[in-house]
Chain A
Amino acid sequence: MYDAIIIGAGMSGLAAGIRLAHFDQKVCILERHTTIGGLNSFYRIKGRSYDVGLHAVTNYLSSRAPKRGPMVRLLRQLRIQWEELSLSPQIGSTIAFPGVRLDFTNDFELFQSQVARQFPRQKDNLRRLLAELIDYDDLGRVGNETSAREVVGRIIDDPLLVEMIFCPLLYYGGARERDMEWGQFSVMFRSIFLEGFARPLKGVRLILKNLVRKFKVLGGELRLRAGVDRIVAREGRADRVVLEDGSEIEGRRILSSAGWHETMRLCRQPEPEGTPGERLSFIESISVLDADPKQLGHDRTIVFFNDSETFSYEKPAGLVDLRSGVICSPNNFAYEEPLGEGVVRITALANYDRWSELDERAYRLEKLRCYDQSVASAVRFMPDFRRHVVDVDMFTPTTIHRFTGHDRGAVYGAPKKRYDGRTHLENLYVCGTDQGMVGIIGSIISGITIANAYCLRQ
């Protein structure tokens, strides 16, 4: 009998596991996949190592930052030293719209001066927006659920600037089409613009390996290839889990990071009526280059681009929407030594249903076609790197679904969040992207918060 069973060895499950194991609970993490990491894992193909997700770790802590916020909370709660994350800050990122570019770094003053120069009338409004942002400590309270579009639209009266501010926030955390809750907006704005981007030279594997080592040293048990098929309930409580191989495991409490609907399905709860809620997913192409992007004249860490006046963050009708996207160059962080090969990653909105309808041949063909098109779209906003490509990889919404089990390849979970993490069963809780916060740091915080609230307090 375990004190806690955790479903999923992604960021949130590992974080929850560390908290519980640290306080001497008997914990077992069950992971369906052959490896850890979930939405932010890593893999090797043709002798090269790739990160699944990682563009950038958000919530960078500059030495000037106050000792609060998600990064400090994460370090303290998991007893991790800041140095262990080996984060190198970004060089500088850009939001590129037709005829306007706004640069930003981890020093918010640059963004403010960029706005002041390109949108002189909005200078004070940006300051007002900053003052209105919800404090981290006040999240989850009433009023946070209002539309961020409404709040921001009231403060900033230039629609183009509104779109440009929303673009990175939606791409890095938008679980809904077009808009997000004002509370989520506040979190994302702080984590991207006020705190900023960073990356460990060794990529996400460094963070994951640290987390797993910590968990195991504390006596935690991790079982890979251990997919949960079913959560069996008795008298309003989760009694045990049944694995895909038929074996059964008992635990006093169960934390699931599989997603809300995915977890309900494990409980054999009836599907909710009506159309399944929208899910946002992406394709991502990875190009390995024979040169560092800087040598090709590209020094930007991340470029959020959009080729029209308005920014459409919606599930595309076709396979992909190439009007906008995100270009990430992992080389362009201020590392102490160079990364090695040049890499350009390009993300674009994609439609899970359209990808999943394709037969295998068509799927492979469309992948190639979309790779070419997404690169062609991106080089409108950066130097053309196509002559330098030595290897490519690409994944689609169906890849994400296959490896993480998230419905329709959702990267930021279902649009409706379950902030209190509770379910219909008194000892079953959800953590991770469907609970509230998203991204690497957000989901780690989610795991910590839910573990504290229901497994440690009392």
Chain B
Amino acid sequence: MTGAEIKEAVVEILSDIAPDEDCTNLKEDVAFRDQLELDSMDFLDIVMELRKRYRVQIPEEDYPQLASMASTVAYLEPLMKDMEK
């Protein structure tokens, strides 16, 4: 998957987790937390959905890497680059 496809996948996950939020126009470098009302349970769900949908395992110490769209995509790229969309 390319960076753009990974981003799309993350947006899809966010929209499923928080359907009451508009997740399509997120600023790349601003923390999700500052643009969306997300609590710790929602963050856990981002990790869980990535595992469920793409079988990527993210250890707890890496959770901070998922703070913004830019950092999330950068973190996921090496893990997901060989995957088919």
Complex: how many Å from CA A66 to CA B36? Answer: 12
Whether a CB of chain A sits under 8 angstroms from the CB of B28 is: no
A66 CB contact (under 8 Å) in B16, B21, B37, B41:
B37
Complex: how many Å from CA A452 to CA B42? Answer: 11
User: Which secondary structure dominates where chain A touches chain B?
Assistant: helix
Q: Is the CB of B44 within 8 A of A457?
A: yes
Chain A residues contacting B27 (CB-CB under 8 Å) are none
Which parts of A74-124 form the interface with B (CB within 8 Å)? 75-77, 79, 81-82
Chain B residues contacting A79 (CB-CB under 8 Å) are 16
B39 CB contact (under 8 Å) in A22, A68, A81:
A68
Q: Is the CB of A68 within 8 A of B37?
A: yes
Q: Is the CB of B41 within 8 A of A77?
A: yes
Chain A residues contacting B21 (CB-CB under 8 Å) are 67
B44 CB contact (under 8 Å) in A67, A72, A81, A452:
A452
Asked whether A23 and B37 contact (CB < 8 A) given A72-B20, A76-B17, A81-B19, the answer is no
User: How many Cβ-Cβ contacts under 8 Å join chain A to chain B?
Assistant: 37
Q: Is the CB of A23 within 8 A of B39?
A: no
Interface string of B32-61 (1 = CB under 8 A from A): 000001010110110010011000000000
Complex: how many Å from CA A287 to CA B48? Answer: 48
Asked whether A456 and B41 contact (CB < 8 A) given A67-B20, A72-B20, A81-B19, the answer is no
Interface string of A132-163 (1 = CB under 8 A from B): 00000100000000000000000000000000
Q: Is the CB of B44 within 8 A of A137?
A: no
Shortest Cβ distance from residue B29 to the other chain A in the assembled complex, whole angstroms: 23
Shortest Cβ distance from residue A111 to the other chain B in the assembled complex, whole angstroms: 26
Complex: how many Å from CA A452 to CA B52? Answer: 15
Interface string of A24-42 (1 = CB under 8 A from B): 1000000000000000000
Whether a CB of chain B sits under 8 angstroms from the CB of A209 is: no
Q: Is the CB of A82 within 8 A of B20?
A: yes
Chain A residues contacting B20 (CB-CB under 8 Å) are 67, 72, 75-76, 82
Whether a CB of chain B sits under 8 angstroms from the CB of A265 is: no
Whether a CB of chain B sits under 8 angstroms from the CB of A128 is: no
Chain B residues contacting A424 (CB-CB under 8 Å) are none
Chain A residues contacting B48 (CB-CB under 8 Å) are 23, 456
Asked whether A77 and B19 contact (CB < 8 A) given A68-B37, A137-B39, the answer is no
Asked whether A73 and B44 contact (CB < 8 A) given A23-B52, A67-B20, the answer is no
Interface string of A57-78 (1 = CB under 8 A from B): 0000000001110001101110
Complex: how many Å from CA A66 to CA B16? Answer: 19
Whether a CB of chain A sits under 8 angstroms from the CB of B30 is: no
Q: Is the CB of B41 within 8 A of A452?
A: yes
Asked whether A73 and B41 contact (CB < 8 A) given A67-B21, A82-B20, the answer is yes
Q: Is the CB of B52 within 8 A of A73?
A: no
Shortest Cβ distance from residue A136 to the other chain B in the assembled complex, whole angstroms: 9
Output the nearest chain B residue to A445 by Cβ-Cβ distance.
B41
Chain B residues contacting A66 (CB-CB under 8 Å) are 37
Output the nearest chain A residue to B18 by Cβ-Cβ distance.
A76
Complex: how many Å from CA A75 to CA B45? Answer: 13
Shortest Cβ distance from residue A214 to the other chain B in the assembled complex, whole angstroms: 14
Complex: how many Å from CA A46 to CA B21? Answer: 46
Shortest Cβ distance from residue A241 to the other chain B in the assembled complex, whole angstroms: 27
Output the nearest chain A residue to B40 by Cβ-Cβ distance.
A137
Chain B residues contacting A452 (CB-CB under 8 Å) are 41, 44
Shortest Cβ distance from residue B9 to the other chain A in the assembled complex, whole angstroms: 17
Could you pull out 26 A-B pairs where Cβ atoms are within 8 angstroms?
Answer: A22-B52, A23-B51, A23-B52, A24-B52, A67-B21, A67-B37, A72-B20, A72-B37, A73-B39, A73-B41, A75-B20, A76-B17, A76-B18, A76-B19, A76-B41, A76-B45, A77-B41, A77-B45, A79-B16, A81-B19, A82-B20, A137-B39, A448-B41, A452-B41, A456-B48, A457-B44
